[in-house]
């Protein structure tokens, strides 16, 4: 199946009926290993996609609306991602549904998302009074103040450079990552964090490379994977982690994490989220 076929089947960019009663069939899975993306004989990273939902609601047995925040962790090696509009429509379907308690809602979501992703999905619901998803400063050195001229707005890995004479362990970040939805063309804004150990990465080149995604259309997960693969190939770090914190749309944000190390990321929101 080609990219246009997936786009045609997806609810993105189309009028969708608002369903406010529990409907797991609204979830639309998309294979991660799509024909138009690079294939791996062995996946060269560990990773997870952390989704946060800020508009989760249902009715208790007396008809009183309940509210929660939700965190979803989808493994990066799951067969499928879940298309974001379908995810939002699915969450909306709880709005007028009666649920016994918050644990019941969490159980439904765990089962439904695991079935859609094709791998175990971890779901955590938080009461609004809990201190969940706190905001912390973005880690590392901000590279956005480089005095550079930029004319490339489609991904170009040749912009990435290193100083082989210097070896560093450092964290760099930029608030200037922007890509576009491959279906609607709407902009997706993110803060990108790059943590590495290896030859010193040229900050001006890294910034130019990040900005080169500005006119690029792809899903969040694939953008982060391509950034990881390009830095790994061009800069040859011994250790590498690439983590993007995208801004929310429709009450959902997506935060893909890819790393050479099998570690689970924290879920602290950035200043922009």
Does residue 30 share a domain with residue 119? yes
Does residue 165 share a domain with residue 83? no
Does residue 153 share a domain with residue 63? no
**What tokens appear for 214 in the block?**
């500005």
What's the CA dihedral at 223, 227, 228, 229 to 10 degrees?
100
Range 177-180, long-range pairs (CB < 8 A, 24+ positions)? 177/210, 177/213, 177/223, 177/244, 178/213, 178/214, 179/213, 179/214, 179/216, 179/217, 179/218, 179/220, 179/223, 180/215, 180/216, 180/217, 180/218
Of 75, 101, 126, the position where a domain reaches its end is: 126
Does residue 66 share a domain with residue 23? yes
Of 66, 94, 126, the position where a domain reaches its end is: 126
Does residue 145 share a domain with residue 96? no
- Predicted local distance difference test score (pLDDT) of residue 19: 82
Does residue 157 share a domain with residue 122? no
pLDDT tens digits in sequence order for the chain, 273 residues long: 444 555 556 665 556 677 889 999 999 999 987 654 555 556 789 999 999 999 999 999 999 999 999 999 999 999 999 999 999 999 999 999 999 999 999 999 999 999 999 999 999 999 988 877 889 999 999 999 999 999 999 999 999 999 999 999 999 999 999 999 988 899 999 999 999 999 999 999 999 999 999 999 999 999 999 999 999 999 999 999 999 999 999 999 999 999 999 999 999 999 999
- Predicted local distance difference test score (pLDDT) of residue 43: 77
Q: Does residue 240 belong to any structural domain of this protein?
A: yes
Domain that includes residue 96, residue range: 3-126
Check which CATH number belongs to the domain holding 171 and give it.
3.30.1130.10
Q: Does residue 135 belong to any structural domain of this protein?
A: no
- Predicted local distance difference test score (pLDDT) of residue 8: 58
Q: Does residue 74 belong to any structural domain of this protein?
A: yes
Q: Catalytic positions, please?
A: 181, 188
- Predicted local distance difference test score (pLDDT) of residue 135: 92
Does residue 248 share a domain with residue 181? yes
Does residue 119 share a domain with residue 182? no
Does residue 251 share a domain with residue 149? yes
Q: Does residue 269 belong to any structural domain of this protein?
A: no
- Predicted local distance difference test score (pLDDT) of residue 34: 61
Domain count, the chain: 2
Q: Does residue 22 belong to any structural domain of this protein?
A: yes
Coil vs helix vs strand at 185: coil
Q: Does residue 19 belong to any structural domain of this protein?
A: yes
Question: Which residues sit opposite 72 in a β-bridge?
Answer: 51, 123
Does residue 25 share a domain with residue 84? yes
């Amino acid at each position: 199946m080609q990219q246009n076929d997936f786009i045609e089947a997806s609810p993105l960019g189309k009028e969708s009926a608002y369903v406010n009663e529990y409907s797991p069939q609204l979830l639309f899975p998309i294979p991660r290993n799509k024909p138009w993306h690079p294939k791996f004989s062995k996946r060269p990273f560990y990773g997870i996609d952390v989704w946060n939902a800020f508009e989760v609601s249902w009715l208790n047995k007396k008809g009183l609306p309940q509210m929660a925040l939700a965190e979803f962790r989808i493994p990066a090696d799951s067969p499928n991602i879940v298309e974001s509009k379908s995810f939002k429509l699915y969450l909306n379907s709880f709005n007028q549904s009666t649920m016994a308690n918050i644990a019941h809602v969490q159980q439904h979501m765990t089962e439904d998302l695991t079935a859609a992703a094709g791998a175990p999905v971890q779901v955590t619901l938080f009461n609004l009074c809990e201190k969940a998803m706190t905001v912390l400063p973005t880690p590392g050195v901000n590279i956005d103040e480089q005095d550079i001229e930029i004319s490339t707005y489609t991904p170009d890995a040749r912009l990435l450079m290193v100083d082989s004479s210097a070896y560093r362990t450092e964290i760099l970040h930029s608030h200037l990552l922007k890509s576009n939805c491959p279906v609607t063309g709407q902009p997706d804004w993110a803060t990108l964090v790059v943590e590495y150990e290896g030859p010193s990465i040229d900050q001006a080149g890294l910034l130019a490379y990040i900005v080169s995604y500005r006119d690029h259309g792809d899903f969040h997960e694939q953008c982060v994977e391509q950034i990881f693969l390009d830095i790994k190939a061009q800069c040859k770090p011994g250790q590498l982690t690439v983590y993007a914190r995208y801004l929310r749309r429709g009450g959902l944000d997506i935060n893909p994490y890819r790393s050479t190390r099998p570690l689970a990321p924290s879920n602290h929101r950035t200043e922009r989220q």
